[in-house]
Amino acid sequence: MSRSEDAAIPFTSPFQDYLDTNYAPTDVEISQIRAHLPPYEGELARLDALIQDLSAQRDRIRGYVDSHKALISHPRRLPLDIVGEIFLACLPTQRNAIMSASEAPLLLGRVCSRWQSIAYALPRLWSSLHISSDFVDSEELRDVVTDWLTRASLLPLTISVHWSTSLGYEYDDIVIDTLLPFSSRWSALQLVNIPDELFSSVAESDAPLLADIGILFERRFGRSGYYEDEENPPEASVLKANVFFGQNLQRIAITTREPTYFVPTVPFTWDHITDLVLKASGGGDRDLFDVSAVYRLLKGCPRLRSLELPMYVGYGAEAEVRDDLLTLPTLEALIIRNDSNVSELFENFLDTLLMPRLNKLHLTNSNINAETADPPILERLAQHAPLLSDVRLELFSFWDTITIIRGLQPFPHVEKLGIVLWSPEESWHTLQSDESELFDVLSPDSDANPVPALRELSLETQDFGEKPWVDCLRKHLLRKTGFRRFHLHLWCDGPRDEIDLSELVAGGLDVSVRCSISDEAARKPTPWQGIER
C-alpha cells in the first residue's frame, strides 16, 4: 500500500474511548460498529493477498539464488577423499556402528543422493556392525545385514551381536546364518548371550583373519525343552579344538559357567594368544580356577600380555611346592578375582611368578568370606614385579583396602590407583568415619605416604560426604605434588546436590564426579546394548 492509499483510510474511530476496555456497546452501537468495519476488512484482505504474492516472489528469488550458491559451496568442492575422511570421523569410536537411521553411516546416506553414493562406495564405513535383537526386525535382518557387510568389500569385519533371551530360536538361526557367509573376513567378533548349541556353527567356520573374539554364553532351555548337560557344556570341547588353536587369534574373552573347561589337563602351548579374559557367569566354587589350573594356563601361554580370570583356593587345599619361578616375560596386566578362603595359598601362588614387565595389577574379592592377601606378600611381589604402576582394589572390607594401600610402599612407580569399596557388613556411619582414614593415608602429609608417585585416583563407593576427599586434593595442590586426576563414582539412594569443583579445577586438577541412582541397573536397554566387555 502506498502512503496515499494508507492515508485514504482514517484510523480515528468513533469508538476510540471504548477500545481496550470492558465497555459493552448497545444494540445501536453494535450496528454502527458493523457498518464501520467493511472498508478496513477489504483493505486487510488486499494487503494479505499482496503479502502472499510478495512472499511467493521472495521464495522464487531465494531458491534461484540458493541453487546457484550451492554450485559454488565449499562442501561441494571438497575432494572425495576429504569427504570420505569426514564421513569416517562420524563413526562411533567406543563401539561398533548400529543399524540406526539417526547415526552414521546410515544417516550420511539420507542427506542427499551425492552423499549416499559416496557413503555406499566407502567400504571402511561398513566394516563394523552391532546387532541387538531387541532393536532389529527379524524379518528384515538377513537382507539389511547382507547389504551392509557387502558394502565393506574385502575389508576385515568387526561384528558384535547381542541376543535377547526372550526371543525364539528362529531368530537365533537367522543371525548365525546371515553372518556365516562373511566368516572369511571376520577380524573381531563379540557374541553376547549366544545359545550354546549355536556356537558350534561359529567355532567350526572358516575364519582365517579372526584375531579378537569375545563370548558370553547364555544358559537357557535347549531346543528339546530341557537344560543342556551341565557337566559337559558343548562350548568347552568346541572352543578348545577350534578357537584356541587358531593361529591368528590373539585376544580372547570368554564368560561361561565353566571357564575351567577351557584349560586342557595335559601340557599345551598357545603361543599366539596375547590377551585372555576368562570369567564365570554362575555361582559356586567349581566355576573358579584353582592354583594348578592357573599355573598350567600361564605355562601354556608364554606370550600373554594380559590375563583376567577368577581364582579359588578352598579350605584343605595344599600349596604346590615349586623349586623355580615361572617367568612371564611379556605379561603386563594381571586381573584376578580372588575368592580364596585361605590367603596363604594364594600368596604362595603369587610367589611363584616372575613378571618383570607387569605394570597393572587388579585384585577383586566377590566373596564376603574371602581372605585378603597380607601386606608382606606385596613386599615379595615388588621383587618379582618391580615396574608395577597401576593398582586397582575391589574388596568387601574398608579396612582390608586401607591395609593393602599401606603395603604399596615397596612399589615406587605406582601412579594410578583405583578403589572400589562395598561394605555390606559395615554401617553407613562406619563407612563415613572410615573414609577419613582412607584419605589420610593418601594425603601427601601422611607420615608414611605409601604412593608418593600417585598421579591418578579413582574411587567407586556408596554415597558419603565430600569434605575428606576435597581436603586431600587441596593438600596435593598446596604441596604441588604430581597428582593430576581424581574420579569419584557414587552410588546414591537419590539425586544429590552438585559439588563445586571450581577451586580444584582452577588449581590444575582434572576432577569428575558421577552420581548413579542405586536402581539405575534397571534402565531400559539401548540399541548398542551388550557391546562393552
Residue-wise pLDDT tens digits, 425-474:
444 434 444 677 888 888 888 777 889 999 999 998 876 667 888 889 99
pLDDT band at residue 233, thresholds of 50, 70 and 90?
A: low
Among the ranges given (132-141, 166-175, 233-242), the one the predictor scored with the smallest mean pLDDT: 233-242
Mean pLDDT comparison of 73-87, 115-129, 228-242, 384-398, highest-scoring range: 115-129
Over 80: is that where the pLDDT of 327 sits?
A: yes
Taking alpha carbons only, the member of 143, 234, 88, 136 closest to residue 530 is 136
Strand runs labelled E in 345-401: 353-354, 360-364, 390-395
Over 70: is that where the pLDDT of 323 sits?
A: no
- How far apart CA 287 and CA 442 sit, in angstroms, is 36
Question: Residue range 123-145: average pLDDT?
Answer: 84
Question: Residue range 265-281: average pLDDT?
Answer: 86
Contact 513/486 with Cβ under 8 angstroms?
no
Give one DSSP letter per residue of 451-509, joined into a string. Answer: -TT--EEEEEEE---SHHHHHHHHHHHHHT-S--EEEEEEEESS--PPP--HHHHHTT-
Domain spans, the chain = 3-72
pLDDT at 320: 57
pLDDT at 267: 82
Over 50: is that where the pLDDT of 24 sits?
A: yes
Mean pLDDT comparison of 67-76, 217-226, 515-524, highest-scoring range: 67-76
Of 422 and 305, more confident: 305
pLDDT at 324: 72
Kindly report the average pLDDT of the chain as a whole number. Answer: 80
pLDDT at 425: 47
Of 38 and 323, more confident: 38
Question: Residue range 70-78: average pLDDT?
Answer: 80
pLDDT band at residue 247, thresholds of 50, 70 and 90?
A: confident
Question: Residue range 288-296: average pLDDT?
Answer: 79
pLDDT band at residue 531, thresholds of 50, 70 and 90?
A: low
pLDDT at 423: 57
Burial per residue of 144-161, b for 16 or more beta-carbon CB atoms within 10 angstroms, e otherwise: bbeebbebbeebebbbbb
- How far apart CA 396 and CA 403 sit, in angstroms, is 13
Over 70: is that where the pLDDT of 265 sits?
A: yes
Over 60: is that where the pLDDT of 487 sits?
A: yes
- How far apart CA 59 and CA 101 sit, in angstroms, is 31
pLDDT at 160: 92
Q: Is the peptide bond before 424 cis (omega within 30 degrees of 0)?
A: no
| Sequence-separated (6 or more) residues with CB below 8 Å from residue 266 | none
Mean pLDDT comparison of 2-16, 336-350, 499-513, highest-scoring range: 499-513
Over 70: is that where the pLDDT of 475 sits?
A: yes
- Does residue 466 come out as left (phi exceeding 0), alpha (psi in the -120 to 50 range) or beta? alpha
Question: Residue range 275-295: average pLDDT?
Answer: 74
Would you tell me how many other CB atoms lie within 10 Å of the CB of residue 81?
Answer: 9
* DSSP 8-state symbol, 519: G
Which one-letter amino acid corresponds to residue 54? Answer: L
pLDDT band at residue 341, thresholds of 50, 70 and 90?
A: low
